[in-house]
Structure 1
Amino acid sequence: MQVQDQLRGTGVAVITPFTKESKIDFSALGNVIDFLICNKVEYLVLLGTTGETPVLSSSEKIEILEYAYEKIAGSVPVVVGIGGNDTAHLLEDFKQLPLEKATAVLSAAPYYNKPSQEGIFQHYKLVAEASPQPVILYNVPGRTGRNMTAGTTLRLANEVPNIIGIKEASGDMAQCMQILKDRPDGFLVLSGDDALALPQIACGMEGVISVAANAFPLEFSNMVRSCLSNEYAAARVINDKLIPTYDLMFAENNPAGVKAFMYKMGLIDNQLRLPNVPLSQPVYSAIEAWMANNR
């Protein structure tokens, strides 16, 4: 089976649970992995931005990957997030992180530097050459400060062999449709916006890498599978129920929102590392109210 086929459906950008002492809670991480796999998501994405990677040390990243590989034991594909704004440093990460058991790498566009489109292209060209696994681009201008245009995405898709797809989180439907219209055969296009996943799959995307599926893996992945089977009436029923949760999850910060849901579900402690903090009481109370009426 081709990598692109393995990564259709719902991938989950897995959170990193912390203890009250701000250490990685590996017991909780194991429970989260079991929860996601038992609730039938298609694959897991480790060390994404939802996993708070900017505040993880290099040794912690290695520990998370080694623990997760052993826990998952090949039951679902694993995608590893490796992104950054220092291209040279990023290339060193490919030498240090254990990637032998990874199916693919998800690499966010450079943040803060705000490079030109040519700079983004040259960055990804080197990333793809350094990666031992196929690379999925990640366009998330809300975090990086720079949109990767459809033209740059298509240029990378056509000119760089080891780049096999993109997680598109620009929220720009016209840009997404341009990529879908002109992409080369086999180029995977995934939604990076939970709230837009349904209409984006209707336009031709093959799935989503989701935040919300951390808390609602069965519901969300069933919604995505319904979309991929052209069963949009069934998908809308599920999506309509989840719409309020998307708003609550991103009201203040990701992953503070989804962690609050997971804390209420008994999966993790409600702990984040600075500069992120738990949700304010009004938003947290709204989550409690939604959970009381819908679970």
Structure 2
Amino acid sequence: MSKFLGTGVALVTPFKEDLSVDVDALKNIVNHVIDGGVEYLVVLGTTAESATLSKEEKELVKQTVATANNGRLPMVVGVGGNNTQQVVNELKTSDLSAFDAILSVSPYYNKPTQEGIYQHFKAIAEASPLPIILYNVPGRTGSNVLPQTVIRLANDYKNIIGVKEAAGDIVQAMKLIKGKPKDFLVISGDDMVTLPMVLVGGAGVISVIGQGFPKEFSQMVRHALRGNLDDANHIHFQMMDIIEYIFEEGNPAGIKAVFENKGLCSPYVRLPLVPASNALKEKISNYGLKVPNFR
């Protein structure tokens, strides 16, 4: 699954002032990240505010990204939830022909046991027409998919090809990398710990900051995958401040403020989220005025 080595970006859904989907801005963002050198696109993940998009809007987003991409990069689409049967039905009835894999988040709110999580993904694996990347993000779901559960799924279902690991726990990531099947991908879901995860054997990242600074962040990941530690460290340390900024008031308010600063889209998000504060926008703007000497 070399197509998912390196940097994938979890695309935002840009909105107009009336909070309708801004199709033109989305096309511009797709071209921006492709021109920046990322390896693949992730559509309708958490950063896309999928929870507040209607079924029709999700279809619009998928079609818009697929058209703008025009086959240039592999694409992953988010298909997940906390109602297993509903996820299975979506997989069986959706047109996923434009995509190369699905990203499926661990069930949120229900707080299932590890066996419940296993059975959830077993049902998805048996229904999915595409390879599956699991998504573990305990800070949002309320439950942690433990390494033994991920490894059990990876061994039992060959179409489960990787995990986006966003627990922010480097020890947990190392346990996953140590115990995984040979070709299974452990992908960082946390921008700040991407570098150390790659250096201990991770496959790359599904990134938020990578869409704001695609050239720089994807180059850092490539340096890390090639073992160029000095160059990777140089970019990582230069980007630490902006990574902190974009999550300071929640995602995707922060990254949309970056895009506003770059003239790529407006800062609007849908309730219950609110746009970044003026104070945060000023910090982001000041960072942009003193763009570090990346290499």
Interval of TM-score (by shorter of Structure 1 and Structure 2): over 0.9
For 1:165, the equivalent position in structure 2 comes to 162
Residue 293 of structure 1 and its aligned partner are, at CA, apart by 2.2
CA distance in 2 between counterparts of 1:95 and 1:54 reads 20
CA distance in 1 between counterparts of 2:64 and 2:248 reads 31
For 2:56, the equivalent position in structure 1 comes to 59
1:203 aligns with 2:216: no
User: Gaps spanning 5+ residues in structure 2: where?
Assistant: none
1:113-156 deviation per Cα after TM superposition (whole angstroms, max 9, x unaligned): 11000000000011111111000001000110100001101110
Query: Among 10, 25, 28, which residue is 1:28 paired with?
Result: 25
Worse overlay, 203-212 or 96-105: 96-105
Query: Among 154, 169, 179, which residue is 1:182 paired with?
Result: 179
Query: Among 54, 74, 96, which residue is 1:77 paired with?
Result: 74
Kept after mapping to 2: 8 A contact 1:141/1:169? yes
1:138 aligns with 2:135: yes
Residue 275 of structure 1 and its aligned partner are, at CA, apart by 0.7
Residue 111 of structure 1 and its aligned partner are, at CA, apart by 0.5
CA distance in 2 between counterparts of 1:178 and 1:233 reads 25
Per the normalisation by structure 1, the TM-score is 0.97
Worse overlay, 230-239 or 59-68: 59-68
Kept after mapping to 2: 8 A contact 1:106/1:136? yes
Runs of 4+ deviating beyond 3 Å: none
Residue 271 of structure 1 and its aligned partner are, at CA, apart by 0.7
Per the normalisation by structure 2, the TM-score is 0.97
For 1:98, the equivalent position in structure 2 comes to 95
Counting matched residue pairs gives: 292
Residue 96 of structure 1 and its aligned partner are, at CA, apart by 3.8
Worse overlay, 159-168 or 5-14: 159-168
For 2:36, the equivalent position in structure 1 comes to 39
Kept after mapping to 2: 8 A contact 1:62/1:97? no
Query: Among 230, 235, 250, which residue is 2:232 paired with?
Result: 235
Kept after mapping to 1: 8 A contact 2:26/2:64? no
For 2:119, the equivalent position in structure 1 comes to 122
Residue 90 of structure 1 and its aligned partner are, at CA, apart by 1.1
1:27-73 deviation per Cα after TM superposition (whole angstroms, max 9, x unaligned): 00000001011111000000000000000111111111122212211
For 1:194, the equivalent position in structure 2 comes to 191
1:222 aligns with 2:219: yes
CA distance in 2 between counterparts of 1:208 and 1:263 reads 24
Kept after mapping to 1: 8 A contact 2:163/2:187? yes
CA distance in 2 between counterparts of 1:286 and 1:158 reads 45
Amino acid at match of 2:82: N
Residue 240 of structure 1 and its aligned partner are, at CA, apart by 1.1
Identity %: 45
What secondary structure sits across from 2:206 in the alignment? strand
CA distance in 2 between counterparts of 1:98 and 1:30 reads 21
1:175-225 deviation per Cα after TM superposition (whole angstroms, max 9, x unaligned): 111111111121111111100011110110011000001100000000000
Amino acid at match of 1:56: L
